[in-house]
Amino acid sequence: MKKEPANSIRVMLVDDHTMVRLGLATFLMAFDDLELSGEAESGQQALEVCAEANPDVILMDMMMPDMDGATATRALRQLHPQVQIIALTSFKEIDLIKNALDAGAIGYLLKDVSAEELAQAIRSAHAGRGSLSPEIGQALVQAANQPPKPGQNLTPREREVLILMVEGLNNRQIAGQLSVSPSTIKSHVSNILTKFGVTSRTEAVTLALRHGLVS
């Protein structure tokens, strides 16, 4: 059995696939400064095991039954703020990445990462430094450069007006529905057109339907 140095980094594995955990446990044995401290097969089980396992770093799968990785990450960071969490997953959808990082993950790596890269990411996480797979960094940059989705900056009242516009109501009819003056509705419609970057109600309605802003 490998003898762990006194200052070895304690790593906990959270993944619902037994073979993945087995592979990661074998990987840890190849490095003298890394030590397996515990395993969990779900986010909920991770919450139960973490206090006893006392890890320094957790490798967290994102897609699991019972409790997903982002939810587990947020809960673990609240309960054990000293523990660093690296998302280790096969998925690179931007929403998953953002959810994991927003939940407190210090890194986001794909499962095709090399052993040396993963070991270095664990060391970096233990030192408080983040790590991202190159594809993840690229996805974040591309997402940051995308124009915002139309309608995200509408007020709740403007959304109500937009829904009634899509239903085909004119300003006077919308005013009656919302119990306000037609001039108020005219102002809301003008704001919607400005925020959408269009010049007509028809364009605004088309844009709203195209982007699924109303059902």
DSSP code string of 145-162 = HSPPPTTTT--HHHHHHH
Identify which of 96, 90, 85 has the alpha carbon closest to the alpha carbon of residue 112.
90
Q: Are the beta carbons of 136 and 97 closer than 8 angstroms?
A: yes
The amino acid that residue 15 corresponds to is D
pLDDT digits (tens, 9 = 90+) for 124-155: 999 999 999 988 988 888 877 766 667 778 89
Q: Which CATH architecture has domain 9-145?
A: 3-Layer(aba) Sandwich (3.40)
Token pair in block for residue 161 = 């007006």
CB 188 within 8 A of CB 158: yes
Give the list of residues 6+ apart from residue 53 with CB closer than 8 angstroms, or none.
10, 12, 37, 38
Q: Where are the beta strands (DSSP E) in 94-195?
A: 107-110, 131-132
CB proximity list for 162: less than 8 A, separation 6 or greater: 151, 154, 192, 204, 208, 213, 214
The H-or-E segment that residue 44 falls in is helix 43-53
| pTM of the predicted structure, to 2 decimals | 0.68
> Which residues contact residue 2 at a Cβ distance below 8 angstroms, ignoring those fewer than 6 apart?
29, 32
List, in order, residues 6 or more apart from 85 with CB less than 8 Å away.
Answer: 57, 58, 60, 73, 76, 77, 104, 105, 106, 125
What is the Cα–Cα distance from 62 to 173, expressed in whole angstroms?
48
> What residue ranges do the domains of the chain occupy?
9-145, 156-210
Residues of the chain with pLDDT under 70: 1-6, 146-149, 215
pLDDT at position 95 = 86
pLDDT at 214: 78
> What local confidence, expressed as pLDDT, does residue 215 receive?
67
Q: Minimal CA–CA distance to 159: which of 208, 201, 110, 97?
A: 208
| Predicted local distance difference test score (pLDDT) of residue 1 | 47
CATH class, domain 156-210, is mainly alpha
